[in-house]
Chain A
Amino acid sequence: MTHADRALGWDVGGAYVKAAVVEATAGTRRVHGEPALRDLAGQARPAGRAARARRRAAASRHGGGDDDRGAVRRVPDQARGRQLRARRRAGRVAGAGARLHHAGRVRGAGRRARPPLDAAASNWMATAQLVGRFVPEALLVDIGSTTTDIIPVTGGRVTAVGRTDPERLVAGELLYTGALRTNVAAIVRRVPLWGGECPVASELFAISGDVHVLLGSLGTDDYTCPTPDGRPSHDGVCRGAPRPRGLRGWRHARRRRHPRHRGGRGRGPGRGRSPARSAPSPAVCRGRRP
Chain B
Amino acid sequence: MIATGLGSFLARRAADRIGMPVEDLADVLEADVGTVAPAAAVAWLALDGVRP
Residues of A within 8 A of B (CB): 2-11, 18-22, 24, 28-31, 33-35, 62-66, 68, 97-98, 100, 106-109, 111, 123-124, 126-127, 129-131, 133-135, 138-145, 148, 178-180, 212, 217-218, 222
- Contact status of A143 and B51, CB under 8 A, knowing A7-B43, A100-B42: no
- Contact status of A20 and B40, CB under 8 A, knowing A31-B33, A130-B45: yes
- Residues of chain A within 8 A (CB-CB) of B4 are 127, 140-143
- Contact status of A19 and B39, CB under 8 A, knowing A138-B2, A143-B8: yes
Tell whether, in the assembled complex, residue A135 and residue B40 are in contact, meaning their CB atoms are under 8 Å apart: no
Tell whether, in the assembled complex, residue A135 and residue B2 are in contact, meaning their CB atoms are under 8 Å apart: yes
Using an 8 Å CB-CB cutoff, how does the interface string of B1-17 with A read, 1 for contact, 0 for none?
11111111111001100
Residues of B within 8 A of A (CB): 1-11, 14-15, 20, 23, 25, 28-52
- Residues of chain A within 8 A (CB-CB) of B31 are 22, 28-31
- Our pick among A24, A108, A127, A212 for the contact of B41 (Cβ within 8 Å) is A127
Most buried by B among A11, A107, A143, A218: A143
- Residues of chain B within 8 A (CB-CB) of A123 are 38-39, 41-42
| A116 CB, min distance to chain B CBs, angstroms | 16
Tell whether, in the assembled complex, residue A11 and residue B36 are in contact, meaning their CB atoms are under 8 Å apart: yes
Q: Which 8 A-B pairs have the closest CB atoms?
A: A179-B7, A9-B42, A143-B7, A108-B52, A9-B43, A123-B38, A33-B36, A20-B39
- Residues of chain B within 8 A (CB-CB) of A222 are 6
Tell whether, in the assembled complex, residue B43 and residue A217 are in contact, meaning their CB atoms are under 8 Å apart: no
- Contact status of A2 and B41, CB under 8 A, knowing A131-B25, A217-B9, A218-B6: no
- Contact status of A131 and B2, CB under 8 A, knowing A9-B40, A66-B38, A98-B50: yes
Tell whether, in the assembled complex, residue A31 and residue B47 are in contact, meaning their CB atoms are under 8 Å apart: no
- Residues of chain A within 8 A (CB-CB) of B32 are 31
Q: A142-B5, A179-B5 are in contact. List 18 more A-B contacts (CB 8 A).
A: A2-B48, A2-B49, A9-B39, A18-B35, A20-B33, A31-B32, A33-B39, A62-B43, A64-B42, A65-B39, A106-B45, A123-B41, A127-B38, A134-B29, A135-B23, A145-B7, A148-B7, A217-B10
Give Cα A123 to B20, complex, Å. Answer: 25
- Our pick among B3, B23, B36 for the contact of A20 (Cβ within 8 Å) is B36
| A156 CB, min distance to chain B CBs, angstroms | 13
Tell whether, in the assembled complex, residue B11 and residue A143 are in contact, meaning their CB atoms are under 8 Å apart: yes
- Our pick among B10, B20, B43 for the contact of A179 (Cβ within 8 Å) is B10
Give Cα A18 to B39, complex, Å. Answer: 6
The residue of chain A having its C-beta at the shortest distance from the C-beta of B9 within the complex is: A217
Give Cα A124 to B40, complex, Å. Answer: 11
- Residues of chain A within 8 A (CB-CB) of B25 are 127, 131, 140
- Residues of chain A within 8 A (CB-CB) of B11 are 141, 143
Q: What would be 17 A-B contacts, judged by CB atoms less than 8 Å apart?
A: A8-B46, A10-B39, A11-B36, A11-B38, A20-B36, A31-B40, A98-B52, A107-B52, A123-B38, A129-B41, A130-B41, A141-B3, A143-B10, A145-B7, A178-B6, A217-B9, A217-B10
Tell whether, in the assembled complex, residue B5 and residue A11 are in contact, meaning their CB atoms are under 8 Å apart: no
- Residues of chain B within 8 A (CB-CB) of A124 are 38
